[in-house]
Amino acid sequence: MRQLIYNIIAVLAVVITISGCKSESEQHRDNDPGDKDLSDSCIMKSSIKYAKGFDLAEYDDYQRLTIFNPWVEDGIQQRFYLVTDASVITPSDGKRLLVPIGSVAISSCTHTEFLDMLGCIEKVNAMCSPELIYNATLRQRHAEGKIVSIGDAFNVNHELLLSCRPDAFLVASYSNQNDNTDRLIKSGINVVYNNEWTETTLLARAEWLKMMGALFGKTAEADSLFSVIESNYMEASIIARQVVEKPAIMAGGNFKGTWYMPGGQSWMGRLIADAGGDYYYANDSTSTSLPLNFESVLNNFNDCEVWINAPTATIRELLQIDSRHNLFAPLKNGRVYSFYAKTKPRGANDFWESAVAHPDIVLKDMIWALHPTLLPDYNPQYIMHLQ
């Protein structure tokens, strides 16, 4: 009897140890039995703190990259086992990918700054819509013929991409994924979904840097870089908490009858809160945009103090879009701001590119606009005061 009790205790100890090694997200989302193939390889705690769209787990012989489906609750969109040795055996519930990857194709400008920060920008050999890229290195390499244009993100040139033979193709996922992407996967292209745009906070979006680090064998570098970003963001938010009076904020602009305002739980809505702004929809539960008519916006925002994220670079352009924009107090009082400080003639805007990886700078830019006295010597990088 005593031996039986000891055996039971031993079994329970093993079960507790294995369960304790899993990260919280793993315990809730990992229902796939494929991982049970390698029971002697204990998982380490995930380092992902803010991002909800992916998880990165460390095993003895590989990393497990899980990308969650933004459109299906608790759904897994992709799973990769990242190995540095092609002979390593991995579970059958995911695709094995040899890292560091040597070449990459990108579908979105939001992928570029992560690559640049990790010193991997020259690994790009194909990209969508090069005219929308702001990064100087990529623009130059494309001009020199070292990077192939493969169409746009919604209509990728299948043959051109295959001819480039990238080790991976970074793709922004959408709810109605087109057939072209499915064809690429079936043809053997390692399509990797980068869904940072679906995150609801700036720090969560920036944390996708860690996924890039894993793909390029630079996990430690990515962790270190993100820690600095996180620390700087927290320091800036502390500055914003000093304010007693918060200016009322409006955002966006009317375009073809619809005014898109950020939802209270969107990354822009939370940015306004972190920067010390008073936003009418702050308590709204929407994590995307709110499509509104002009009349409702005028009713709720006509006396606001500051207008941020205006859709133009000048007041003149703002009035050309809709002359009724002149009815709002910020335009009359000269407190209209947009994220057009760094742009190129054909549509490239660095706010939609490198700012994704620099939420600390974006927050300081916003504080500068809302509370000029808090950062008197600060030079904004992405935001500009409309004239």
With beta carbons less than 8 A apart as the criterion, state whether 276 and 367 touch. yes
Question: Distance (Å, rounded) from C-alpha 206 to C-alpha 354?
Answer: 10
Whether the pLDDT of residue 338 is over 80: the answer is yes
What is the percent of the chain with per-residue pLDDT over 70, rounded to a whole number? 87
* DSSP label at residue 246: P
Cα three-residue angle 46-48-53, rounded to 5 degrees? 115
CA 267 vs CA 246, 287, 359: distances in Å: 19, 7, 10
Q: Worst-scoring range by mean pLDDT, 13-17, 26-30, 49-53, 338-342?
A: 13-17
- pLDDT by residue (tens digit) across 306-329? 999 999 999 999 999 999 999 999
22 pLDDT above the threshold of 60 = no
What is the pLDDT at residue 270? 96
- In the chain, the DSSP E strands lie at 54-58, 63-68, 76-83, 95-98, 104-106, 124-127, 148-149, 151-152, 155-156, 168-171, 191-193, 248-251, 254-255, 258-262, 278-279, 289-292, 306-308, 337-338, 384-385
Which homologous superfamily does the CATH classification assign to the domain defined by 243-385? Nitrogenase molybdenum iron protein domain (3.40.50.1980)
The model's pLDDT over 202-213, given as tens digits with 9 standing for 90+, comes to 999 999 999 999
Residue 356 · residue 113 · CB < 8 Å: yes
- Per CATH, 13-228 and 243-385 having the same topology is answered yes
Phi/psi-derived region of residue 41, left when phi > 0, alpha when psi is between -120 and 50, beta in every other case: beta
- Whether this prediction's pTM lies above 0.75 is answered by yes
For residue 83, give the nearest of 214, 208, 209, 251 by alpha carbon. 214
- What's 308's DSSP letter? E
Query: pLDDT tens across 237-294, in order?
Result: 999 988 999 999 999 999 888 999 999 999 999 999 999 999 999 999 999 999 999 9
Element (H, E) at 319: helix 315-321
From first CA to last CA, the distance across the chain in angstroms is 86
For residue 55, give the nearest of 65, 45, 43, 63 by alpha carbon: 65
For the chain, what are the domain ranges? Answer: 13-228, 243-385
Using an 8 Å Cβ cutoff, are 251 and 307 in contact? yes
Q: What is the CATH number of domain 13-228?
A: 3.40.50.1980
